[in-house]
Chain A
Amino acid sequence: MVGMVIERDSVGEEGDDVVTPGEFLGEATEFIAGKGAYVSPNGRSVRACLTGRRKVTAAPPGSHDNRSTIEIVGHKAHGAVPQPGSIVIARVTKVMARNASADIMCVDSKAVKEKFSGIIRQQDVRATEIDKVDMYQSFRPGDIVRALVLSLGDARAYYLSTAKNELGVVSAQSISGGTMVPISWTEMQCPLTGQIEQRKVAKVD
């Protein structure tokens, strides 16, 4: 009879082996369950609940409990997800009378793995004179904007805001096809024809 003993590296570093949900990670007396792990119903073992690699962090010195924390890292759900308060980069898809919809592409300078929808409402385009906002003079379909996530919004889209100096259109193409150059916070100019188009422009340092 051949038995195989697999030695588990239980202190200090990330294992190379992949663990799957339900797999035994360690004793509850020796480890605290971190992100991606849980204590089994009988209270004695720590098991994984995600697919990924094990990571063990030693207990911080001076805490009551000197058990290490075991957690699962490297799993797919780590793609960026917009949270209220994060700055996102989005591409405007549709401009309507009272709002504009945009596809969120990056969250806090990290690209997303799946597309999120955002909406910029008329009252969130800028900070002053919000009832006189003309959506057509603020955004056009295809513009790249930097926006702030206000809230999780409704089931369809996050609510975004560009009501700050550093938020707004970052890059846009003119009707003639050239990439426009910003000349003020409301205007951008096409280098090919010299035509000026209105946008809500972001102040980029």
Chain B
Amino acid sequence: MDVDTRNMTPTNLIDKIVVPGDVVLDLTKMENQTIKLGSGLRQDCDCISVLQAGKLRLSKPNKYWVESSQKRYVPSLEDTVLGIVVEHRSDNFLVDIKAPNLAFLPVLAFEGGTRRNIPKFETGTLIYARVVKANGIMNPELSCTDASGKAAEFGQLKNGYMFETSTGLARMLLSSPTCPVLEALGKKISFETAVGFNGRVWVNASSPDDVILVSNAIMRSEFLSGTQQRIMAEKLLQRLEKV
């Protein structure tokens, strides 16, 4: 009786919490396969071990990675982040994105940006930008255009309220299909949000009450399941109608 080993996952730790030092895969038992390792995993000769505590994920057929949630952000390519301008140098803005280094945002990295129309961002301006260069050694580089050069919602975020969250909650808010808490809130309140992979969320609505309600609902939804998020959102919305 031949067991079809091609479809058996070689580890039983998928979607379980792993801690640094756990050996996740033994390469001697898997032959002729290409495995792609994402963040949080490391190859030590013949075994794959965990570097960061978190949940082990697998994307069929062969991508493995560890999903973890921290307060600090490690810049990675093509992430959309919310940054705060710290300084204005001659050829780029220095932007804080909760990373180990300050990020550079070139003054020309805007749609239709030339030396004559450099935007005037003061210290403290909130910017929605995209990471275009991120290696562990140099300062990361941002851009306020998408890959084709269009503005596409990047740039300064005016009004509204910004708060900080963990990177795990930011990823949950950005997941598709739409996160349950945002969907439940969106049925009754009209608001707009910008979520950065670096753990910053910006909320804007027509009245301050709505802004506070949406922000609190988001902050509370980190460890709730989908149904719990919907129930929590509905309770908050009922309170709004009673007053």
**A44 → chain B, closest Cβ, in Å?**
61
In A20-49, which residues have CB < 8 Å from any B CB?
none
In B78-116, which residues have CB < 8 Å from any A CB?
104
B3 close to chain A: CB less than 8 A: no
Task: Sort chain B's interface into a size bin.
Answer: 10 to 19
**Contact assessment for A97 and B45 in the assembled complex, using a CB-CB cutoff below 8 Å:** no
- Contacts of A97 on B, CB cut-off 8 Å? 104, 138-139, 141
B206 close to chain A: CB less than 8 A: no
**Contact assessment for A136 and B45 in the assembled complex, using a CB-CB cutoff below 8 Å:** no
- Contacts of A192 on B, CB cut-off 8 Å? 45
Give B104's nearest chain A residue, CB to CB.
A97
Cα A193 to Cα B42 in complex, Å, equals 10
B135 close to chain A: CB less than 8 A: yes
**Contact assessment for B45 and A95 in the assembled complex, using a CB-CB cutoff below 8 Å:** no
Cα A136 to Cα B42 in complex, Å, equals 22
- Contacts of B43 on A, CB cut-off 8 Å? 176, 193
In A50-84, which residues have CB < 8 Å from any B CB?
none
- Contacts of B243 on A, CB cut-off 8 Å? none
In B129-158, which residues have CB < 8 Å from any A CB?
135, 137-139, 141
**A77-108 interface code vs B (CB 8 A; 1 in, 0 out):** 00000000000000000011100000000000
Cα A141 to Cα B104 in complex, Å, equals 20
A140 close to chain B: CB less than 8 A: yes
Residue of B137, B139, B141 near A141 (CB, 8 A) is: B137
**A150-165 interface code vs B (CB 8 A; 1 in, 0 out):** 0000000000000000
Cα A95 to Cα B136 in complex, Å, equals 11
**A192 → chain B, closest Cβ, in Å?**
6
Cα A180 to Cα B13 in complex, Å, equals 33
Cα A141 to Cα B138 in complex, Å, equals 10
**A135 → chain B, closest Cβ, in Å?**
8
**A166-188 interface code vs B (CB 8 A; 1 in, 0 out):** 00000000001000000000000
- Contacts of B135 on A, CB cut-off 8 Å? 136
Give A95's nearest chain B residue, CB to CB.
B137
- Contacts of B42 on A, CB cut-off 8 Å? 176
**A51 → chain B, closest Cβ, in Å?**
44
Residue of B44, B45, B137 near A140 (CB, 8 A) is: B137
- Contacts of A135 on B, CB cut-off 8 Å? 138
- Contacts of A176 on B, CB cut-off 8 Å? 42-44
Residue of B42, B45, B138 ringed by the most chain A CB atoms within 10 A? B138
- Contacts of A140 on B, CB cut-off 8 Å? 137
Residue ranges of A at the interface with B (Cβ–Cβ < 8 Å): 95-97, 135-136, 140-141, 176, 192-193
Q: A136-B135, A192-B45 are in contact. List 14 more A-B contacts (CB 8 A).
A: A95-B138, A96-B138, A96-B139, A97-B104, A97-B138, A97-B139, A135-B138, A136-B137, A136-B138, A176-B42, A176-B43, A176-B44, A193-B43, A193-B45
Q: List 8 A-B contacts (CB under 8 A).
A: A96-B138, A97-B141, A140-B137, A141-B137, A176-B42, A176-B43, A176-B44, A193-B45
Which 3 pairs, one residue from A and one from B, show the smallest C-beta to C-beta distance? A193-B43, A95-B137, A136-B135
